[in-house]
Structure 1
């Protein structure tokens, strides 16, 4: 690989006052993209200069050199080979940089003076479309955000240029951008564009959410300009059909996103065929905190830990994986639509043979959704087209898996099957045009199959015969000269030559014309070789040129079928997700949830869908029964490590799965449709903004209390533990009272706490009930049984957990002594306060004297709590308590 010499490579003069024509061309392009790294094509390299070169050298760890080394003002220079540029650009994009790619559009061999160059595209984190730059099968969104004039709401739009997905939404405008942050967490955009006049404080908030922010011209966001652009792109007279009436900030955001994509890609982007306005009431709202705490898509510890998505993602195609991600991050509130999904899952769960055959067929499916986008953009590679043909050939077998009579196929599955297009014309076209094992890129030739183009075959014949002639010439000259090591070689600079080593130079005949001296000998030519070289070189160049022309024509033909390919990709994704969820349901013993409009959440033998996958010895299931008008709030006390947090998260995840259209890990589940799930779990500092753990806790709690509705589910774990016991307990009690309210219904709440004084709230608030986790305690050990049962406890077993964690024995023994002192210390009025007792399963081997038997204890021993519902257990306990009170507690 060389940097080709030529007039454009002349160095600047020493004082830097004048620029060569090529550097003048470079500066003109750079002025158009001042905040972008400019990859400037010169020969076989993309060059960067000045500050760009220093940045690229540092970020990519490549050598920094310079032009005009002999002058007073050398120009920093760093370059990468053009054929390897995508890998380098991908690294820069991953670091958040923008890269403008400037290509040579003129032919250096026929151009007099400076070769013409143009910006081919600007690559940004949110507008990547090249397969080497798209980091994974996940969606890569460009977000545009625009506040309305009164700053009461935000219009946002999200565009995945690699697939064509495009939608907008309206979210509330709050001072700390909580709602906008939730949308960012839900969709994880790679880049966000905002108006240049947006205050820095707002930009910083978006950056703090981990998104690259770019300010764009304010005019891109104006409603009139945006509406005109959108209508022109979609060929409509207005945006009324998209639901954008009187939604100026949403219109402005959508128009800005499309304008930015068009400006960066320098192409019409015809694969972006639809736009929708999403209503927040259509989905179960999961804010950023909830997505994090419940580990819906990302592990709370970072990295690639187990999540709900990773646990359920048994899909076989990239399209299916992206769709499942959308299902889980945006569960539905429409019962009819949820049941359509559940019907499809149930259908496939009950047809094991068909499901297995279908999933096996899916293994051959490529990411045709993104291939369609690359065809539209014009950068689809030859292997993309082969993969497309391979996928299309599997479609008849896919559809054959659903050969059941149509009346038995659920509506969603039937619609998807009907949306899968058989496209034999595309298959035939690609098979006829593209070689069996083509190179990854089209620029190097070898992509067009013999027989597709008569003209190409003819030129290839000339080229092939010419190269055969070269082989015969080599043998002929060896015989004529007696030089057995003589070789006929070729390179791009000097063309064809006859190579003779130094020991054989005396045998060179006078008819040889010396062409070049090398370290090992001399290179020569002869008139007939020069003549054939011209013929071969012209044929070689013509083959490459004609192959490129034919390939561009082929992409143009395929563009008309992009809508059918996209519809097929979406249909495959729907069926892939249904089959994956059916696989989970059957293999993991999930059940179909019942969805209704009640204010109840009833789960029998619920399990945590992620934790149970890694638990040895089996996961202990538990019931959950919440009702806005019944047991609205469960106060959960008990031992550390007993499973409180896992239990609460499991209940929330089951609700998410149910409303996403998945079967759930339980024996039975009936879910009254939820509008939001709130969580306050664990302790996190926000060091970047100087916010303490407790302040973050209070911010998250404020968001819950200000936005909760009777249709919400609230998960609260250890509210108030970040401050003093008195303050924290008071806050926790006030929160309980607030959530309980004075009406007849309230948000369903799971409230775990170590403030044991709160268990007295059961007597004061009618919709509050106490629960705790059963423990088996002996003289020497504590066994956590992971079973939730009615009643309260004031024992947390913190010292036992400290011992398990490896705290030095000296410390834990001292802690036990201090605890005994505290528990046995006299109180001012001379009596100890009443203490609640953990329901224990006592080990028979414990060396404790047997207490006198009370008849009530006989009844208690006969009870099997595992076979009782919480309400039955509460009723039984109340009856036993009444008997004890009647008998005075005596045996």
Structure 2
């Protein structure tokens, strides 16, 4: 029987071998000349995702993409959730004997991307692994593009979900058995478009993980990193390391440290609060400036941009740690000239973190060495500037900076100011760096001079003034003669090609000169490649120092950005305390304060504690500013705990362990839940998880059901928050249920506030000011008028409202009972007693 493989071409057999070596779920891009080719099912699957034509050759489905644009096509496949294996040509096809050798050089998944054209410079790209244990879940996270490697453990699935929402990972590794179980039971709540990736269970083996991590980090024990007792976290870290090594197809030498962190060191912000407060992503995609990140991001470096995002999503819970950040920001605010110089110096620094990683994994070019050189060259000046700032954190960060003068000097001596993009093109090194390279460059130059002289000589010998000596990659050097002059071509010319306007020839002398020129050029390119690899090895030996410097520069950049925002916008330093209080004078919403250029934002006070001012009931009309105000308070607490100044006249902030928000459900309707169900699920989460150290903001609890059901639930929730000792959190409760204001009569911790309104005839002016006391006017019809409802509808609504308030509607299908009359003890329907009079 004939072996099917025997009918395949050598190249196709090579492809099939590579396909067997690639992960079974990966799409294989197979380099053939100037294209990456895809075959069989990979081609069918990838062609529509990459928007290329699917064709057939000898019955085999195939498609291809040009090699110089491959990263853009890889990005499309990754966005579609695919994994990609790259098979490269391992030798020059011109020098190959037989079929060109090819091998898989990398496997790219969402969490192992290294290419800058695919990565977002302003956010980390975390690959994480999760290992459920008997009592806790281990979590390991690694940003492959920077070497940032951390581990922690969480108590339960809810803790895992919180961590996923904080990290926004690109990919999550799970033991295959866990992946299968969670697929059946339901996935934890994770931010889109994170990819769940099953891997072999044995990759999480504890002993294998310990051994691999110790070898990677060059230590005998992980105890020095704080890993004692964190077995499931160590198992997860081992799986991450193994997965990355397999993806890179080489040692991950840029992973030089491991950090253990504790989740209780950070204020918890779940997915709902991140969305409702619009911290880093706007609710509407085209409004990035309308986020807290958009306001604060005055960073000058990519490292700072990524770290700022993390600080926003992971505010601190330790007064001393927050104080260190605030001391640094205050020192910078006090010296605006120094701050400006500092920011200008930081602007000269590019992405050192990701550059040193590309050099480690072999994907960097000569231009990356210049990025490193210029970034490190800025360090001495930065260190000198920082010496003028009296803040412990600044001193610590300055001490972590390494300028590495020997390394920067070496790069300066070696690499030209404008090197080519590709290291195999040559032209990277300065004259004088290597004597052998200089000789080869001289030989190539002289050969080209000889060829130019040959053109002049042949023009003279033949009398053909238009004769040209040209070059292309297919034919090498040749002599081109136009049709009009073909009769003057000497007998020793050898015809090589006929073209539209004439013919091309070669001569023995020309080919001899070509051999000298191209031989010298090829040898010089090969030598440059060797020299570059040797230089790269010298540079990567300083990886740990460069990474530490990059991290310190990122932190300095964030502090400088916060200082710049504070100085420009009149922010003040908050006072942090462990007491459960919140006292803000003239607080402003940081985003709206930034966006409102044409009018002044109206500031407001806030006073909350767990005794006399624990629950603030806020009433007032739609569009008056209730929702803005309660979000504002949450943002000011977050700003304070991340170490930022705040937009206020003064602020005393008692540390919060969590910020809970219930202010809308637009995001969750696609999950198949009604608005009211989403509202109740979010309320349940708050009531079941809040503590006396939490901050809660509630907007319109109970609005998604009937009036009496909604009022009943809102009343019960408010009572629970006030009366239930394990909760009793500082709470802002905005509502249209004016009946809730009666709680202040029976509970000392409840205080009523309203949003000031001024009436001018039929006009209503919203003053945006929060005042003590309650109101029972909603002005809903006025808002409807502003929204553009027809005049007839507005007039009829006013008529119905007057009838309802005056108990004047007749029996023709219209309600008769006004709330004011019920409360006064008037007519009462038997089936619906006044709910809160017992």
Specify which of 585, 609, 612 is matched with residue 590 of structure 2. Answer: 609
Summarize the Cα distance change of 1:569–1:828 in structure 2 as closer, same or farther, 3 Å threshold.
Answer: closer
In the other structure, the counterpart of 1:276 is: 259
Preserved contact between residue 164 and residue 190 of structure 2 (Cα < 8 Å): no
The yes-or-no answer on 1:18 pairing with 2:7 is yes
Residues 1:621 and 2:610 are matched in the alignment: no
Q: Secondary structure at the match of 1:499?
A: strand
For 1:204-603, what aligned pairs fall within 5 Å after superposition? 204-205=187-188, 209-305=192-288, 306-404=290-388, 409-603=390-584
Q: Is contact 1:517-1:523 (8 Å) kept?
A: yes
1:191 corresponds to which residue? Answer: 171
* 1:720 alignment partner, SS class: coil
Structure 1 residue 775 corresponds to structure 2 residue 765: no
Q: What is the SS of the residue equivalent to 1:524?
A: strand
C-alpha separation in 1, matches of 2:395 and 2:619? 49
1:15 offset after TM fit, Å?
Answer: 8.8
* Alpha-carbon separation, structure 2, partners of 1:116 and 1:304: 50
Cα distance in 2 for partners of 1:597, 1:669 equals 14
Pairing 1:108–2:93 present: yes
What is the aligned partner in structure 2 of residue 645 from structure 1? 627
Q: Distance in 2 between matches of 1:657 and 1:212?
A: 31
Does structure 2 retain, via aligned residues, the 8 Å contact 1:585–1:664?
Answer: yes
- Residue 829 of structure 1 deviates from its aligned partner by 12
Per the alignment, do residues 370 and 831 of structure 1 end up closer, same or farther by CA in structure 2, a change over 3 Å counting? Answer: closer
Alignment partner of 1:480: what SS? Answer: helix
2: CA distance, partners of 1:645 / 1:628? 22
3-state DSSP of counterpart to 2:7: coil
Indicate the SS of the match to 1:286. Answer: coil
Q: What's 2:785 paired with?
A: 803
- Judge which range, 734-743 or 779-788, deviates more: 734-743
Q: Is the 8 A contact 1:685 1:692 kept in 2?
A: no
- How far residue 388 of structure 1 moved from its aligned partner, in angstroms, is 1.8
Is 2:103 the counterpart of 1:118? yes
- In structure 2, the partner of 1:884 is none
Aligned to 1:603, the other structure's residue is in SS state strand
- Correspondence for 1:41: 31
Aligned to 1:659: 641
- Listed one character per residue, the Cα deviations across residues 185-234 of structure 1 (whole Å, up to 9, x for unaligned) are 22211222222222214674456743122221222223232222212211
In 2: Cα distance, 1:630 partner to 1:399 partner: 49
Q: TM-score, normalised by structure 2?
A: 0.93
How far apart, CA to CA, are the structure 1 residues paired with 2:550 and 2:665? Answer: 42
- Determine if contact 2:804/2:817 at 8 Å carries over to the other structure: no
Change (3 A) 1:14 1:195: closer
Superposed, 1:850-869 pairs within 5 Å as none
Q: 1:457 to 1:685 in 2, by over 3 A?
A: closer
Contact residue 209 and residue 234 of structure 2 kept, 8 A? yes
Q: Distance in 2 between matches of 1:809 and 1:442?
A: 72
- Structure 1 stretch 651-660 or stretch 157-166: which is displaced more? 157-166
Of 52-61 and 447-456, deviating more is 52-61
Contact kept in structure 2, 1:717 and 1:752, CA below 8 Å: yes
The CA deviation string for residues 228-263 of structure 1, in whole angstroms up to 9 with x for no partner, is 221221122333233333333322222211211111
- The total of aligned residue pairs comes to 810
In the TM superposition, what is the alpha-carbon distance from 1:716 to its structure 2 partner? 0.7
Structure 1 unmatched runs, 5+? 1-12, 69-73, 836-891
Structure 1's 116 and 778: CA in aligned 2 closer, same or farther, altered over 3 A? same
CA–CA distance in 1 between the matches of 2:739 and 2:54?
68
Q: Secondary structure at the match of 2:599?
A: coil
Alignment partner, residue 630 of structure 1: 612
Deviates more, 1:152-161 or 1:736-745: 736-745
What is the CA–CA distance in structure 2 between the aligned matches of 1:396 and 1:352, rounded to whole Å? Answer: 20
1:78 equivalent among 55, 63, 72 = 63
Contact kept? 2:470, 2:479, Cα under 8 Å:
yes
The alignment partner of 2:93 has SS state of: coil
Q: Distance in 1 between matches of 2:420 and 2:13?
A: 36
| Counterpart residue number, 2:680 | 698
CA distance in 1 between counterparts of 2:410 and 2:589 reads: 50
Greater Cα shift, 452-461 or 686-695: 686-695
Distance 1:303 1:249, change over 3 A: farther
Higher mean displacement: 323-332 or 487-496: 487-496
Q: Following superposition of structure 1 onto structure 2, how do residues 60-209 of structure 1 map, counting pairs within 5 Å?
A: 60-68=50-58, 74-148=59-133, 150=134, 153-174=136-157, 178-197=158-177, 198=179, 199=181, 200-201=183-184, 204-205=187-188, 209=192
State the match for 1:861 in structure 2.
none
Partner of 1:9: none
2-structure distance, mates of 1:347, 1:605: 24
Q: CA offset at residue 317 of structure 1?
A: 1.1
RMSD: 2.1
Match of 2:836 in 1: none
Q: Which moved more, 1:374-383 or 1:625-634?
A: 374-383
Deviation digits for residues 264-292 of structure 1 (CA, Å, limit 9, x no counterpart): 01122222222122211101111111111
Structure-2 change in CA distance of 1:690 and 1:477 (3 Å)? same
1:27 aligns to what?
16
Contact 1:207 1:213 in 2 (8 A): no
For residues 91 and 436 of structure 2, the distance between their equivalents in structure 1, rounded to whole angstroms, comes to 24
Give the match's secondary structure for 1:775: strand
Alignment correspondent of 2:835:
none
Determine if contact 1:685/1:691 at 8 Å carries over to the other structure. no
3-state DSSP of counterpart to 1:412: helix
Mapped contact 2:348–2:378 kept (Cα < 8 A) = yes
TM-score when normalising by structure 1? 0.88
Tell me the distance in 1 between the aligned counterparts of 2:166 and 2:233: 18
Which whole-Å CA distance do the structure 2 matches of 1:744 and 1:115 have between them? Answer: 71
What SS does the corresponding residue of 2:537 show, helix, strand or coil? Answer: helix
Residues 469 and 304 of structure 1: CA distance in aligned 2, closer, same or farther (over 3 Å): farther
